[in-house]
Amino acid sequence: MANKSKALLALELGRAVIEMRSRSRQFIQARIKENQLNITYEMLEVLMCLWEKDGINQQEIADNIIKEKASMTYLLDNLVKRNLVNRMPDGNDRRNNLIHLTTQGKDLQEKLLPWAMEMYTAASKDLTLEDIIASTQLIKQLTKNIQ
Amino acid sequence: MANKSKALLALELGRAVIEMRSRSRQFIQARIKENQLNITYEMLEVLMCLWEKDGINQQEIADNIIKEKASMTYLLDNLVKRNLVNRMPDGNDRRNNLIHLTTQGKDLQEKLLPWAMEMYTAASKDLTLEDIIASTQLIKQLTKNIQ
DNA sequence: AATAGATAGTATAGTATTAAACTATTATGT
DNA sequence: ACATAATAGTTTAATACTATACTATCTATT
């Protein structure tokens, strides 16, 4: 009975999680639309990863933002099309592409990163460091339990 | 600085959340595949809602499982195609369709619901009721903060 | 009664995700 | 040296999601 109850709570947590994701996306997309930028939230996630560390391979990006490698192909195609990133073969390992920001891609940082930080800051308003950490740990444990 | 740090923690929480969702999906899909059923995790979510409450309208289903109504059209088209649900006009409000499980749709419950419960039970192993509730509350607050 | 506002569901176009299979390349084991 | 296993990225097909606009219908207001 306690297990059933915990399971149902986990279900509710899963629902809360989906809604949070959806709202995050909408928050950023609204800004992007206001400013008539031709990118999406998902592309922003890739850019954010590259702003932090440029010139890494696709698998590293995928690992960082929790996406499947097949999705990376699609997203990077779109970013390349918009001249925000370039793919370059990796001389050290021919299986890899290294993904580099273009000048345009770099220039977007000063506008877009503050929006993202603004969102995360607003989201975490009134929440304590400790509580956020505890929740993250719980969610990670939950994921590990079904690995 | 504390805000920056909290924002980054929120970012990490967002990542954990995506991974949890992805794993949940894979867990169930593996079972579905083993048993050669012609449905997806997303369809299962709809079915689970209807097992609990049959004959509700599309908007209610969408609200329950946190999806956009436009997504419901697509998913229900697929469920109807598989003869798992029917759409019926609502005599009391012509804007609505009422969605009913077919016999087949009902029959799937005894196989699929235990899998879902098994997953949630496994996921919540070693986690306390209180911690799950606290995390759910935190995530709901986080979502509300960016509404 | 008429009008304005809100709602449910669909259509559309584009975006994104996923599993599986594949090719080319690298790493590992014998 | 050779064979096998593992890996990165791409392809394919299907699924799913989203914002926007639309139509039909209902509700609220005057």
Q: Grade residue B7 by pLDDT with cuts at 50, 70 and 90.
A: confident
What's the pLDDT at B132? 94
Between CA B113 and CA A70 the distance in angstroms is 30
What's the pLDDT at A85? 97
Cα–Cα nearest to A58, from A115, A68, B32, B114: A68
Residues of B in contact with A146 (CB under 8 A): 23-24, 27, 119, 122-123
Q: What is the domain partition of chain A in residue ranges?
A: 2-123
Q: Grade residue A106 by pLDDT with cuts at 50, 70 and 90.
A: very high
Tens digit of pLDDT for each residue in A18-31? Answer: 999 999 999 999 99
Tens digit of pLDDT for each residue in B42-98? Answer: 999 999 999 999 999 999 999 999 999 999 999 999 999 999 999 999 999 999 999
Residue type, B63: D
Place of tokens 């698998």: A59
Q: Sort residue A55 into left (φ over 0), alpha (ψ -120 to 50) or beta.
A: left
* Residue among A22, A66, A127 minimizing CB distance to B22: A66
Which residue of A64, A136, A144, A147 is the best one to mutate when testing the B interface, meaning the one whose CB has the most B CBs within 10 A? A136
Contact between B145 and A122 (Cβ < 8 Å): yes
Q: Specify the nucleotide whose C1' lies closest to residue A92 (CA).
A: C26
Say what the ipTM of the complex is: 0.89
Sign of CA dihedral B6, B12, B13, B14: positive
Q: B38-106, which class in CATH? A: mainly alpha
What's the pLDDT at A20? 94
What's the pLDDT at B94? 94
CATH number of A2-123: 1.10.10.10
Residues of A in contact with B12 (CB under 8 A): 136
Residue of chain B with shortest Cα separation from A25: B146
What's the pLDDT at A144? 92
Q: Specify the nucleotide whose C1' lies closest to residue A78 (CA).
A: C15
Between CA A115 and CA B70 the distance in angstroms is 28
What is the residue-averaged pLDDT of chain B? Answer: 93
Cα–Cα nearest to B26, from B107, B123, B135, B136: B123
Q: Is A86 helix (H, G, I), strand (E, B) or coil?
A: strand
Residue of chain A with shortest Cα separation from B142: A123
